[in-house]
Structure 1
């Protein structure tokens, strides 16, 4: 990967030509006997290291400066960078370049190497990267490697690197609120695996590591069958007491109510690594600019630390490359073609290029780094047109029109195609569905849905496409049907508990969530989720008053998810000794 430093002013090619022709040089850098003739002013401009090196020259004659701890080949690359502002970074040289640039204080090269390594982070090397970055104080690499470990812990701990963590490093990871887990029991399994690597040296650390295991987030059955019978727990009084305390806390939480949580460390919920946002919509008689965040680890909603720039309903939202895009929509009699983008790192909104067409009741999705906007209503006509946006050029481009004009449809992506289903054409609710292939710029009709559906939700999940709820004309629906793209067929899945249309829909933590919507007699605040392993919908513990016509979007990679979650320190504390519940003010 070639790297070019945009901060270094281009000097044409004059100085580099002079270097290559050995003209007007005034210093010699020597590495392992290899000499490089250089110009001091160029090297000083590259790094303060060389300014400090050259200032102690006593005699006026040209002097040779020896540099140790770097190879001739790497030194040559750094000298060439000083003259050209460009350097090739590869898997073969990145470690040597990083160490040399760190020693020589060539900050731009060190950052280029850090950026390169950040792109190489995987479950097989993230722990080594984290440890390496800690040694060299590379904050960005260290933070990204650590975030990868916590985000993918259940994939990381079965690996070889995991066994070579120090007890302090493992305790830090296991104790983190950011640790992302499908099951808290994975922490116990990870502890046992680490212990088994060098049992004679590591058994003494069992109590420390077990204290990082939030045992009360498992179940009484798990503790009795998996934790207490383990010899390391059974034979250690401190460990055994931790297990008994966890059982007592679980019994207390079960007695209080389902969905109750405590701030006790053993029961403290982890933070989610992804957040579902409910954005805008229609509440009462007005469109709203509210954005609510769903903390899936507690099942509770909080207000996001920002709102829309102005109220919108019947709009589309897309999360792409750290930005939240809000497209089209309407507010009372005003219909929008505008597109706003929220930078989630700075929490600032900016308008980007507007769509070619005004689109309320729009269908929006993302595929391969491009945003698609399809159909909708412009205040007069149901639209057949479609367009896509390239964030790199800030430009919208028209693509082939759909086979059917449709507003109130819904769309998703799967297998490198865009799918759009249902909607309303101005006369009737639609049963039709079609797919778009970007390579050919063609729409293809697929098998129609079993039911006509307008105001439905469509989402890809487990390599199939789910069409949920909506309205077939006279009736609001709670049914769900599933499309298999491999055989072009639809089939029924479990039905929702509540009829609804014009609602929010997303997938998070392997469940499909529906939020709000209109039931036919009024709006609903109920939130439901679908578990495909049981083919059943369940009521989420906390409702959300966002009305209907909202849009949901899952965002990840946030700098700090605690800003979107229920503050853990505000949860009640259960005093095991006195049996009292202490509530923070």
Structure 2
């Protein structure tokens, strides 16, 4: 192609001239035909065989120059200044090479301050348009309160954004406050839209105090008679929801879809292992049973982690044997597949994910408590043995932070442990860190608020409800508020900056109760219990899946009067 480009620059063997605003570009027809079907039509169907000069409308000379250079070199310089005009011209002339390059660049550089313009620009290109829309859904709060683009959307565009179930907001009041910011930008022109926009806010999932206070007392809401039936409907729905266990919702009470789903996998229930999987929808505060075929053998005292769209179940126990096997559940196809087994059988195993690898630590092989560690690389479907821990640990718990693996507590065969250590993959070395204030076997360990939390467990005498947190920067532990219930061998996970604990053993029986710790308020509270009482389960959080709604609670809408009908009553 460089030879053809030299001929073009020297105006040799050119058989056509592209003219834009009296600027002429000598070209070779065959080269432009190779670039786009537009030019094939231009040279063969929209002109006579003897035509030589072709006037092109609706494009600037600078952009046409870039398109012609791309036809010869397959390179185009895309800048912040020219991207929109270049994209529109490439779309006009059907130059797919430029369109694909720009789409790839826009996707790589998508951010809160440009995602709305990308969404608008790519309206006729579904793949990138959908990605831009999902980005807006997942970053709505930041976009609504920092982006200047947000203030320029039309009311129709704003409705499309805020009425969507996928809008990711931890608190629905964020949506109302975003509406007020948008209206305030041009208050005289936009104040008439307050009732339309308010009807898209899920007011009935807020609180009585918020509806009766912040919303009803807002100046725009008070001045709009159309808002009154919306507030009345929301208050009625809120009152009904407090005493209802229904999965049917009115429009104002319909929960948004969650950005992530907590999975509770397997465990020990009713005296034997189970393969039950339940999914927790934090927005609806409901557990959903995940269909699970017989390929997944019942197991307890295993580990479950989420990685690259799949859940991996590692090791465990089935009442008769300790497993070295590993099974992968594809969340897209709902199918199980056995992958390469570990080098050792590991019941009471501790597992975590870091840098795309699964770490399996310690456990019990049926004879000994282990201090060996191995690491699984999915890309190679291979387990490799790495440096062993300082101590034998079964029934310990682990997590990752700052590029290191931390493991705490456990049982060494004779006593419950308070010791903890961390692994650095760069040096392949384990280092003992400060010990916990309590011995903890069967505890939950996880990262929250930049600290390693160790929660509950068994100290050799009783089940614990106490919790403590480790600061990696100071190598110190400090006490944090205790759980509401004593428990060991439970599931643990973090969603929305809240730490969830599910099930476990309270010293006398397996339990189904679930509670969460809010990092902002530093308080524990009860949430909806699982359908199944079980201990020795494992929890993980899945996210970023296109079919996440399949694992969330159903959102069936009741045929209650909509806002328009309520206004006329």
TM-score by length of 2: 0.87
Are 1:156 and 2:147 counterparts? no
Q: What is the rounded CA distance, in whole Å, between the counterparts of 1:292 and 1:27 in structure 2?
A: 69
CA distance in 2, matches of 1:96, 1:285: 67
Q: Which residue of 2 aligns with 1:304?
A: 290
Say whether the 8 Å CA contact 1:372–1:388 is kept in structure 2.
yes
1:165 shift after superposition: 0.9
Distance in 2, matches of 1:61 and 1:511, equals 73
Aligned equivalent of 1:410: 397
Offset of 1:308 from its aligned partner?
7.8
State the Cα distance separating 1:570 from its structure 2 match. Answer: 5.9
Assess, with a 3 A threshold, how the Cα gap between structure 1 residues 93 and 402 changes in structure 2: closer, same or farther: farther
Displacement of 1:395:
4.0
By how many angstroms is 1:376 displaced? 2.1
Q: 1:101 to 1:362 in 2, by over 3 A?
A: farther
- SS, match of residue 262 in structure 2: strand
CA distance in 1, matches of 2:502, 2:367: 29
1:373 to 341, 348, 360: 360
Aligned to 2:444: 457
Identify the range of structure 1 (142-151 vs 505-514) with the bigger mean alpha-carbon deviation.
142-151
> 1:34 maps to what in 2?
25
Matching residue of 2:493: 506
Distance 1:346 1:264 in 2: 31
CA distance in 2, matches of 1:477, 1:57: 82
Question: Structure 1: 5+ residue runs without aligned partners?
Answer: 1-15, 580-585
Decide whether the 8 Å contact of 2:2 with 2:72 is kept in 1.
Answer: no
Of 295-304 and 367-376, the range deviating more from structure 2: 367-376
**In structure 2, C-alpha distance between the alignment counterparts of 1:340 and 1:152, rounded to whole Å:** 34
Q: Bigger CA drift: 116-125 or 347-356?
A: 347-356
Q: Does 1:167 align with 2:155?
A: yes
Distance 1:33 1:21, change over 3 A: closer
1:404, 1:233 → 2: CA distance? 64
Distance change >3 Å, CA 27–CA 199, structure 1 → 2: same
1:276 matches 2:232:
no
CA contact (8 A) 2:254 2:557 kept: no
Q: Deviations over 1:35-54 (max 9, x none)?
A: 454756x954x654455455
CA contact (8 A) 1:26 1:39 kept: no
Q: Separation in 2 of the partners of 1:116 and 1:324?
A: 31
1:531 aligns with 2:518: yes
Query: Contact conserved, 2:332 with 2:547, CA < 8 A, in 1?
Result: no
Q: Choose which of 92, 95, 118 in structure 2 pairs with 1:129.
A: 118
In the alignment, is the contact (CA less than 8 A) between 1:261 and 1:572 conserved in 2?
no
Query: Per the alignment, do residues 78 and 20 of structure 1 end up closer, same or farther by CA in structure 2, a change over 3 Å counting?
Result: closer
Task: Report the CA distance shift for 1:249/1:434 in structure 2 as closer, same or farther (over 3 A).
Answer: same
TM-score by length of 1: 0.84
Task: Determine the C-alpha separation between the residues in 2 that align with 1:407 and 1:66.
Answer: 78
Partner of 2:306: 319
2:84 and 2:223 map into 1 onto residues whose CA distance is 46
- CA RMSD of superposed structures (Å): 3.4
Q: 1:110 is matched with which residue?
A: 99
CA distance in 2 between partners of 1:36 and 1:354 (Å)? 62
Conservation of the 8 A alpha-carbon contact between 1:276 and 1:555: yes
User: 1:58-90 CA deviation, whole Å, 9 max, x = no partner?
Assistant: 998997877674432343234434xxxx88877
Q: Answer yes or no: is 1:180 the counterpart of 2:168.
A: yes
Matched, 1:488 2:508: no
Point out the more displaced range, 171-180 or 389-398: 389-398
Cα 1:59–1:114 change in 2 (3 A) is closer
Distance in 1 separating the partners of 2:517 and 2:292? 29
| Partner residue in 2 for 1:237 | 225
Please give the per-residue CA displacement for 1:461-507, whole angstroms capped at 9, x wherever unaligned.
01111111112223222221221222222222222233222211001
1:362–1:374 contact (8 Å) kept in structure 2: yes
Equivalent of residue 202 in structure 1, options 151, 168, 190: 190
Equivalence for 1:563: 550
How far does residue 332 in structure 1 lie from its aligned partner after superposition?
3.3
Residue 382 in structure 1 maps to residue 382 in structure 2:
no
Deviations 1:385-425 (Å, cap 9, x if unpaired)?
22333344444443322111212111111222211111122
Mapped partners of 1:30, 1:353: distance in 2:
61
Give the Cα separation in 2 of the matches to 1:119 and 1:321.
19
1:254-273 aligned at under 5 Å gives the runs 254=242, 256=243, 263-273=249-259
Deviation at 1:350, TM superposition (A): 4.1
SS in 1 for 2:304: strand
- Give the gaps of 5 or more residues in structure 2: none
- Taking the aligned partners of 2:284 and 2:369, their CA distance within structure 1 comes to 41
Partner in structure 2 of residue 71 of structure 1: 64
Of 294-303 and 374-383, deviating more is 374-383
> Residue 276 of structure 2 is aligned with which of 283, 287, 290?
290
In structure 2, distance between residues paired with 1:100 and 1:345? 38
Once residues 319 and 558 of structure 2 are traced to their aligned partners in structure 1, the CA distance between those partners, rounded to angstroms, is 40
Structure 1 residues 86-95 or 446-455, which shifts more?
86-95
> Partners in 2 of 1:274 and 1:451 — Cα distance?
32
CA contact (8 A) 1:27 1:39 kept: no
**Distance across 1 between alignment mates of 2:103 and 2:294:** 35
Deviations along 1:131-190, one digit per CA (max 9) or x if unpaired, are 2222xx121222122112222222111121111010001111111111222221122211
Counterpart-to-counterpart distance in 2, 1:538 and 1:422: 25
Is the deviation greater in 54-63 or in 168-177? Answer: 54-63
Indicate if the aligned counterparts of 1:214 and 1:265 stay in contact, CA closer than 8 A: yes
**Gap change, CA 1:346 and 1:197, over 3 Å in 2:** same
Which has the higher mean CA deviation after the structures are superposed, 400-409 or 87-96?
A: 87-96
Partners of 1:196 and 1:187 lie apart in 2 by: 14
CA contact under 8 A between 1:29 and 1:67: conserved in structure 2?
no
State the secondary structure of the residue aligned to 2:531: coil
